[in-house]
Structure 1
Amino acid sequence: MNLPELGFWRIARRFPANVAAVEPDGTQVTARELLARVNRVTRLLRSLGLTHGDRVALVAANEVAALETVLACHQAGWYLVPVNTALSAAEIAHIIGDCVPGAVVTSPKYAPTVRAALDQAGMGGERRFATAPADGFRVLADAASPYPGEWVEDRAAGAFMAYTSGTTGRPKGVLRALVTGDPDDVFAAGAAWQLGMFEVEPFKDGTHLVTSPLSHTAVNGLALTSLHLGHRVVLMERFDAEGMLRLIERERVTTTHVVPTQMHRLLALDPEVRGSYDISSMRNLIHGAGPCPPAVKRGIIDWFGPVVYEYYGASEAAGTVISAREWLARPGSVGRAQPGAAVRIMDEHGRELGPGERGRVYLEMGPRAFEYRGDPDKTRSSVVDDYVTVGDLGYLDEDGYLFLLGRTAEVIVSGGVNVYPAEVEAALLEHPGIADAGVVGVPDQEWGEIVCAVIQPTEAAREHAAGPGFREEIIAFCRDRIAGFKLPRRIEVVDSLPRGANGKLRKHLLLPNGDPGETPAPAHP
């Protein structure tokens, strides 16, 4: 890659007439238009007194104005704080109070919740912006319109400051020092590294499809890096399996990012529907953000071909990557360390473990070490010898390929034996009548904990799932796939599972309520 040719701002000046982004309603935005909007927003926020290292919080839908806000931050030396749109007002207020942003940008859809959060945090009205008219907010485009859209001087590279998932406690901001240098150079290098590991090439008539909320850091980051490689970005308002296929065909999409839940829903489409769309333009289907059941992964590879790439990592550090061909040779692996990164498995005493030994996964922090904003104790407890863990468990094989087992907090200890929920969930999701599944441990007087499966049936299986034989059928199905001590001893059928905007299962909301029905107790050691 020729880095001096890359970087959104640089590309937009060279090819101003190119379409840079496509709104969910199909409206096209040229590079010239997007650059002018970014420059106006930059000048608007500077007029509020924002200086190098300040924060801007974004609680927005999938729309081009969200990309404008990120690009403005990234050329002005500010931290962009993406906020999960599924959070409550109290949860958003915590993040606002912690990061103390110089401005907040939201979409009308989320304005009531964000307004309540900002009222709790005591943030003034002149710093509240919405992408369209909303009570209590200034319209971003209107407020920025008096400012010129020409090239901005005194540019500096900004960054994301993501807040870690709040599923097991209050979220913490992952803070890194800003990189010095021209923003085009900084982000061109980052894009070449990030998308290069997935073998994504710059320009080449590239089109990136956004299927998940931009409030998810990986989704936002891949959209931005696509712009930095000269690709146009097509936005979906919300994921729809057939709608995704329709856009791939219409827009000749070459790259996209999906989560395992979306892959499962794609495979659930009627075979005739799946076969009616042309997906031959796809060159790179990237997935992450959670464990992917092997049967789902294999089904997507069989359908889309060897264009599937998986990554594992965290806001705190880079992780692993694996191609379809590598995965077919090692089903279930999430790959080897990304270029320039390293992975270790350690026990509870910080001792490095050998191939095949199970322990905590630690990722090398690299030259840009992070800290949890305002929580030095959490930072220290997560770091060993410049490696950080987010609580995931796994092992490395002889060739350095990582296999994940679950999270420390999620391991079920039943009768003194460890059960890893991801293994049970993978078996459940192979059943044709199960649309989604989550596994947790529930207290039991005899065993300490027992395995509980919470299941969302497919539409076709809903009536059957309400009957007495469904649970027995599930146990019999899983018995051929996992050991007896891993079988669910309790099964609950629900209408839907509590997944966040990024597709991750919010397991603290999964604990069963009510009578789970009669489930046969499987053999236990």
Structure 2
Amino acid sequence: MPDYASRPWLALYGDRPVFQRSTYDTALEMFDATVAARGGDIALRYFDGTATWTQLDHAADSLAAYLQVRGFRPGDRLAICTQNNPALIIGLVAAWKAGGCAALISPMSTAEEFAHLVGSYRPSALLALGDIYRDVARPALTDIADTWPVPIVVTASPFDGQRTDDPRVLGDPARHRPADTVDLYTLTATHTRPSIRRAIGPGDIAVLLSTSGTTGFPKGAAITHANLTFNTQTYRNWTGLGADEPILALAPIFHVTGLVAAVALSMHLGSPLVLTHRIQPMVVADAIRAHRPAFAVAAITAYIGLADESDLTADDLRCLRLRYSGGAPIDPDTAARLEDVLGGYIHNIYGQTECTSPSHIVPPGLRAPVDAETGVLSVGIPVCNTMVRVVDDNGDEVPAGEIGELVTSGPQVISQYWDNPAATAAALAGGELHTGDVGFMDAQGWFYVVDRSTDVINASGYKVWPREVERVLLSHPLVRDAAVVAIPDDYRGQNVKAFVVVDDAQDAAGSAPLTEAGLIEFCRARLAAYKYPREVEVVRALPRTATGKLLRRQLRA
């Protein structure tokens, strides 16, 4: 049996400390320190627009003061629903200044999802892009006005703070400024009353973030200031990023990876943060050439987009010396192709929303090993102060190399889901996060994630890991994307069904067009009899979250 308590992964740390302490107690203290030290430096680069740390501070102060005048109290929530825009950072800091927290809502939410989250978070105020308010938020708020009215609504435009007006991501240059809301750009330009600082501490909630929602309605992870400052420090210590090196927001900043690895890290270092509203490959390519970022974390789909849908060359990307991927698994063959095309190694990083982003990382200078049996690329080794165990269904630790559930504890792990004691008790019992991810640790301390426990297929008593079947499907030259789920079977209990996205082109050999029956035979020749899919369905695209996670529940439905 492995002694997880001895932390075999420490041998891979190099000269990094085994334990770290956060430099700051709260994220607002972290932000204030950067304003004091680097106030005149560039904080944000948004197309051709810039904002200094002092300008960002003044804008947040104006919004915080307005919220307080309108009755926003310590502990209240400011719901924020934007893309990768300066407005999100202004709102985040304003909520802290007013003594509250930010509840981030994905701009891809439907009206039903938006109403569910507002009903759960019960915010006192909303900051949203004008078109999102018009199309989604206003109808949702109208539907729940009797149960939870939101009295303060501020809207922003993605066109504010820049003059490029790039139609590739910003669309129609009309600025939506709904008459029944207060305009953020006007407010921050004209409001001069300072906010009244409210005391906040490390145990107070800094951000409410929705979990990925891959199995149903998302839960609200209550991320404290201590959680946020600890893992921001983790990114700084493990990457060695310098204060003058720009950070590219290549992941959505309304999700945990972008929030911590881009927004919070730039606040901690005083590094310029590069924003592009949306992650469109050619727009990102232009931003990389213009602003020369040194660091980015994103879902692997974002890197695939840069490789396949932009004109970036490896030489263009020399500036991006630290490339990390998280949020969705990486196929080793895909990683190798991207390294060849983009001219740099993409390191894995791993951690749920409940872990405030990283619990594991592939250290700079090391390459993640690939497990020979499963073909899975390692997600890395646990970061400082972090304990990870692999346990069986009874909660007992399993030997190295044996598959079980990953259970994580450390200063970055949340202590509760917002207003959800049942989910808290189920997933966070004893201060450990039961991740729901199935995987193993090798003898050297590298960790591997094989699948989600809820996605395992039981065919005639045999376990089938979807990613094992997906890897075989992706090895076919005409398969671009693949997902595998369980379907009921009267005799076997469950069978394997595959959904695939295929290329329209013929393969190099000029063989007959790819068929569903042909894919079944392709898998039958490469997998055990109980593993190969009995059904294959060709689809135009697979449903994924904004961070690239596959929504298998939609396929099962």
Q: What TM bracket, shorter-length normalisation?
A: 0.7 to 0.9
Amino acid aligned to 2:362 = I
Supply the distance in 2 between the matched residues of 1:262 and 1:214 (Cα, whole angstroms).
Answer: 14
Q: Are positions 1:130 and 2:169 aligned together?
A: no
Cα drift, residue 32 of structure 1: 2.6
Supply the distance in 2 between the matched residues of 1:450 and 1:113 (Cα, whole angstroms).
Answer: 39
Asked if the contact 1:308/1:324 (under 8 Å) is kept, the reply is no
Deviates more, 1:313-322 or 1:405-414: 313-322
Cα drift, residue 363 of structure 1: 0.9
| C-alpha distance 187-75 of structure 1, shift in aligned 2 (>3 A) | farther
Cα drift, residue 344 of structure 1: 0.9
Q: Are positions 1:423 and 2:468 aligned together?
A: yes
Specify which of 81, 86, 90 is matched with residue 112 of structure 2: 90
Supply the distance in 1 between the matched residues of 2:61 and 2:72 (Cα, whole angstroms).
Answer: 14
Specify which of 126, 130, 144 is matched with residue 104 of structure 1: 126
Asked if the contact 2:438/2:451 (under 8 Å) is kept, the reply is yes
Deviates more, 1:321-330 or 1:450-459: 321-330
Give the aligned partner of residue 141 of structure 1.
Answer: 185
Specify which of 444, 449, 453 is matched with residue 404 of structure 1: 449
Specify which of 233, 236, 250 is matched with residue 192 of structure 1: 233
| C-alpha distance 150-15 of structure 1, shift in aligned 2 (>3 A) | farther
| C-alpha distance 249-142 of structure 1, shift in aligned 2 (>3 A) | closer
Deviates more, 1:437-446 or 1:150-159: 150-159
Supply the distance in 2 between the matched residues of 1:244 and 1:143 (Cα, whole angstroms).
Answer: 30
Give the aligned partner of residue 71 of structure 1.
Answer: 93
Asked if the contact 2:72/2:98 (under 8 Å) is kept, the reply is no
Give the aligned partner of residue 183 of structure 1.
Answer: none
Asked if the contact 1:55/1:99 (under 8 Å) is kept, the reply is yes
| DSSP-derived class of the 1:227 partner | helix
Give the aligned partner of residue 55 of structure 1.
Answer: 77
Q: Are positions 1:300 and 2:346 aligned together?
A: no
Give the aligned partner of residue 253 of structure 1.
Answer: 293
Cα drift, residue 161 of structure 1: 1.4
Give the aligned partner of residue 162 of structure 2.
Answer: none
| C-alpha distance 37-149 of structure 1, shift in aligned 2 (>3 A) | farther
Amino acid aligned to 1:333 = S
Cα drift, residue 200 of structure 1: 3.5
Asked if the contact 1:86/1:500 (under 8 Å) is kept, the reply is no
- What is the root-mean-square deviation of aligned Cα atoms in Å? 3.1
Asked if the contact 1:128/1:137 (under 8 Å) is kept, the reply is yes
Q: Which digits, 9 at most, give the CA deviation of each residue in 1:16-46, with x for residues without a partner?
A: 33221122x4322222321211111121122
TM-score (norm 1): 0.86
Specify which of 222, 239, 250 is matched with residue 211 of structure 1: 250
Asked if the contact 2:125/2:150 (under 8 Å) is kept, the reply is no
Give the aligned partner of residue 362 of structure 1.
Answer: 407
Cα drift, residue 305 of structure 1: 5.4
| C-alpha distance 484-230 of structure 1, shift in aligned 2 (>3 A) | farther
Cα drift, residue 264 of structure 1: 3.0
| C-alpha distance 325-32 of structure 1, shift in aligned 2 (>3 A) | closer
Amino acid aligned to 1:65 = A
| DSSP-derived class of the 1:162 partner | strand
| C-alpha distance 304-3 of structure 1, shift in aligned 2 (>3 A) | farther
Cα drift, residue 274 of structure 1: 4.5
Amino acid aligned to 1:129 = V
Give the aligned partner of residue 170 of structure 1.
Answer: 217
Give the aligned partner of residue 284 of structure 1.
Answer: 322
Give the aligned partner of residue 7 of structure 1.
Answer: 30
Cα drift, residue 192 of structure 1: 2.3
| DSSP-derived class of the 1:257 partner | strand
Q: Which digits, 9 at most, give the CA deviation of each residue in 1:223-247, with x for residues without a partner?
A: 2222321111111222233433332
Q: Which digits, 9 at most, give the CA deviation of each residue in 1:301-357, with x for residues without a partner?
A: 344556532221112235211136543444511111111111111111111212112
Supply the distance in 2 between the matched residues of 1:145 and 1:236 (Cα, whole angstroms).
Answer: 22
Q: Which digits, 9 at most, give the CA deviation of each residue in 1:116-157, with x for residues without a partner?
A: 222223254641121141354322233444533768644535
| C-alpha distance 482-290 of structure 1, shift in aligned 2 (>3 A) | farther
Q: Are positions 1:319 and 2:359 aligned together?
A: yes
| C-alpha distance 96-337 of structure 1, shift in aligned 2 (>3 A) | same
Deviates more, 1:275-284 or 1:436-445: 275-284
| C-alpha distance 460-8 of structure 1, shift in aligned 2 (>3 A) | farther
| C-alpha distance 66-509 of structure 1, shift in aligned 2 (>3 A) | same
Cα drift, residue 459 of structure 1: 5.5
Cα drift, residue 394 of structure 1: 0.8
Asked if the contact 2:300/2:326 (under 8 Å) is kept, the reply is yes
Supply the distance in 2 between the matched residues of 1:323 and 1:36 (Cα, whole angstroms).
Answer: 37
Q: Which digits, 9 at most, give the CA deviation of each residue in 1:459-493, with x for residues without a partner?
A: 5469x99x764335544655676545432221111
Q: Are positions 1:233 and 2:255 aligned together?
A: no
Supply the distance in 1 between the matched residues of 2:309 and 2:56 (Cα, whole angstroms).
Answer: 36
> Structure 2 regions of 5+ residues with no counterpart?
1-19, 158-176, 372-376
Amino acid aligned to 2:248 = L
Cα drift, residue 268 of structure 1: 3.3
Asked if the contact 2:406/2:438 (under 8 Å) is kept, the reply is yes
Specify which of 58, 61, 74 is matched with residue 39 of structure 1: 61
Asked if the contact 2:348/2:368 (under 8 Å) is kept, the reply is no
| DSSP-derived class of the 1:234 partner | strand
Give the aligned partner of residue 137 of structure 2.
Answer: 114
Please give the residue correspondences for 1:436-515 in structure 2 after superposition, counting only pairs within 5 Å: 436-458=481-503, 460=505, 469-475=514-520, 478=523, 482-511=527-556
Asked if the contact 1:174/1:371 (under 8 Å) is kept, the reply is yes
Supply the distance in 2 between the matched residues of 1:368 and 1:244 (Cα, whole angstroms).
Answer: 32
| DSSP-derived class of the 1:348 partner | coil
Give the aligned partner of residue 17 of structure 1.
Answer: 40
Supply the distance in 1 between the matched residues of 2:184 and 2:229 (Cα, whole angstroms).
Answer: 27
Supply the distance in 1 between the matched residues of 2:379 and 2:527 (Cα, whole angstroms).
Answer: 20
| C-alpha distance 477-208 of structure 1, shift in aligned 2 (>3 A) | farther
Cα drift, residue 390 of structure 1: 2.9
Supply the distance in 1 between the matched residues of 2:283 and 2:233 (Cα, whole angstroms).
Answer: 30
Give the aligned partner of residue 372 of structure 1.
Answer: 417
Cα drift, residue 409 of structure 1: 1.1
Q: Which digits, 9 at most, give the CA deviation of each residue in 1:372-425, with x for residues without a partner?
A: 223222222223443221311111111222111111111111122111112222
Asked if the contact 2:469/2:532 (under 8 Å) is kept, the reply is yes
Give the aligned partner of residue 268 of structure 1.
Answer: 308
Asked if the contact 2:251/2:257 (under 8 Å) is kept, the reply is no
Deviates more, 1:167-176 or 1:85-94: 167-176
Q: Are positions 1:26 and 2:48 aligned together?
A: yes
Number of residue pairs aligned between Structure 1 and Structure 2: 499
Give the aligned partner of residue 220 of structure 1.
Answer: 259
Identity %: 25
> Structure 1 regions of 5+ residues with no counterpart?
180-185, 513-525
